[in-house]
Amino acid sequence: ARKCILSGLWKNELGSNMTISAVNTDGGFTGLYHTAVTATDKHIRVSPLKGSQKPTNQRKQLTFGFTVSWTFSNSMTVFVGQCFMDDKGKETLKTMWLLREEVSSPGDDWKATRVGTNIFTRI
Ligand SMILES: CN1C(=O)N(C)[C@H]2CS[C@@H](CCCCC(=O)O)[C@H]21
């Protein structure tokens, strides 16, 4: 396929795995996210993700966003990114994310959000 397809199994350099379901006609998708590491020291469990992508008929290298609502902590991560395909057909998801932790008071709000970049490749 000369077009990036989000559905399937992905991994990143932190050892997380992500499974994305079939993308529906309006670009919506769901999936599951399994982390190998966490910001909290909670026991790791699989967490649900929901997102949407731009239709592939307009763009070969589609843009997308998704949210992971962590099942083991009161935090949330949103990802935005784009799928790139090299001339051998290898797909890469280049993303940036915001991780929002729950903090106990508004005075701690300043330290509640982490940001980072992250690359996913197919498993
Ligand atoms: C494993 N991770 C991963 O694959 N990322 C791209 C980064 C951004 S989401 C974070 C995990 C947060 C887990 C929930 C928590 O610790 O509160 C880290």
Pair type for strands 76-85 and 17-20:
unpaired
- Angle at 35 (CA atoms; ends 13, 49), nearest 5 degrees: 110
Question: Is the CB of 1 within 6 Å of ligand 1?
Answer: no
Question: Is the CB of 67 within 6 Å of ligand 1?
Answer: no
Give the C-alpha separation, 44 to 121, whole Å.
22
DSSP class of 19 = E
Give the C-alpha separation, 60 to 10, whole Å.
19
Q: Tens digit of pLDDT for each residue in 24-36? A: 989 999 999 999 8
Q: Determine the pLDDT at residue 122.
A: 95
Q: Tens digit of pLDDT for each residue in 66-78? A: 999 999 999 999 9
- Whole-prediction pTM value? 0.93
Give the C-alpha separation, 63 to 96, whole Å.
12
Backbone angles phi, psi at 122, to 5 degrees: -70, 145
Q: Determine the pLDDT at residue 105.
A: 97
Pocket test residue of 11, 14, 43, 101 for ligand 1, highest count of atoms within 8 A of CB: 14
Question: Is the CB of 97 within 6 Å of ligand 1?
Answer: yes
Q: Tens digit of pLDDT for each residue in 70-110? A: 999 999 999 999 999 888 989 999 999 999 999 999 999 99
Q: Determine the pLDDT at residue 36.
A: 86
